[in-house]
Amino acid sequence: MIEPTGGAGHAVARRPLRAAAGLLVGTWCLQGGAAAAPPSAEGPCSGAESALRATRDSLDKGEWKEAEKRLLEIETSHPGCGDVALGLARVRAVQGDDAEAERLFARALRLAPDDARTHALVAEHWLSRGRPAQADYESSLALSLEPECSEALVVTGRLLGIQGRLPESFRAMEKAARVGPANPEAQYQLGVLLFRRKLHPDAVVQFQRALALRPHDARTFDYLALCYEALGDAERAEQSYEAALEVNEAPFFDSFLDHNYGRFLLKERRLSESQSHLDRAVALLPNSRAAYYERGKLNLALERYQPARQDAERALSLRDENGLVLDVQVHYLLATVYARLGEAVLAHKHAELARTTPIPDRN
């Protein structure tokens, strides 16, 4: 699933933005979510303020088709508007047209070179494409223009998390959420970090804020369900899982949702319901130890010992760098399965491994 943070920083003198070039692009950066007042000078976006504001809201909620329609209409009358190029770049990126997205991001930067949010969203794109150096460069530029740009702080926080600088990452994301109360990604990413710190009540509040801003995000519902599970509220957990299933599609598709819900149903001993989700989890995550491990447990509970053996052996063959399922857990499952199959030697071997395999230090 998904995660990280935003950034810290003290207020410094800000360079003036070029009139109208980045109109309505840097509004979170400048006013924490409030709409920026239109500049007095005429510019390439003048007259399109209301339409651009509505379009930005659609983009932030993931309503891509509606946003694309509006942007193409605005482009006809305002071909030099940087906000249009930026919005269309985000749409093309979601559609998988990376070459066109990058051309449009470059155009947006030419039209609004002093706009913090433009640089921040370009940084977000590079980070999503696995290019952290470019992301760091653009987010640094954004923060030099506006130290409280929420979108740039999110990217900075995520980069700090990748580098293992977790306290700094958390502080950055806290600030991103505070200065960008209308930024759904900042609220979501802070929720993920709170969840990872096992601060589940705080994470619930944070995910609820994110959903109020972006109600069609399956990832957020999935995390909310995990929080409720941790808090022992099975009813609300299931409600959140069901809500996630209803909206689990691009651009916020959650490939781990079926795994998490299937595991929850298995824990609740609702085996037949669990099976369809865990089968789908294995199909979606063919290299996930966790998916095979949970299905192996399900097959064991259903007394399907040979399929359980196949799943457990497959789980053991896969690495799990995230530490969701430890080697010792798989050895214990295999010992149980082999014993049920009458494989005494193998059962003893894995029972010993379950007893002697060290548990890694997660600190």
From-to residues of CATH 1.25.40.10 in the chain? 1-182, 257-356
- Please name the fold of domain 257-356: 1.25.40
Contacts of 229 (CB under 8 A, 6+ apart): 237, 264
Please give the full DSSP string across 121-175, using - where no structure is assigned: HHHHHHHHTT-HHHHHHHHHHHHHH-TT-HHHHHHHHHHHHHTT-HHHHHHHHHH
Instruction: Point out the least confidently predicted range of 57-66, 129-138, 147-156, 289-298.
Output: 57-66
pLDDT winner (highest mean) among 65-69, 71-75, 268-272: 268-272
pLDDT of residue 314 exceeding 90: yes
Residue 197 pLDDT grade (very low, low, confident, very high; cuts 50, 70, 90): very high
pLDDT for residue 363: 54
Measuring CA to CA, how many Å separate 12 from each of 52, 116, 143, 146, 147?
29, 14, 10, 8, 7
- Express each pLDDT in 181-193 by its tens digit: 999 999 999 999 9
Supply the pTM of this predicted model.
Answer: 0.84
pLDDT for residue 195: 98
pLDDT of residue 16 exceeding 80: no
- Express each pLDDT in 259-310 by its tens digit: 999 999 999 999 999 999 999 999 999 999 999 999 999 999 999 999 999 9
Residue 18 pLDDT grade (very low, low, confident, very high; cuts 50, 70, 90): very low
Write out the CATH class of domain 1-182.
mainly alpha
The average confidence (pLDDT) of the chain is 88
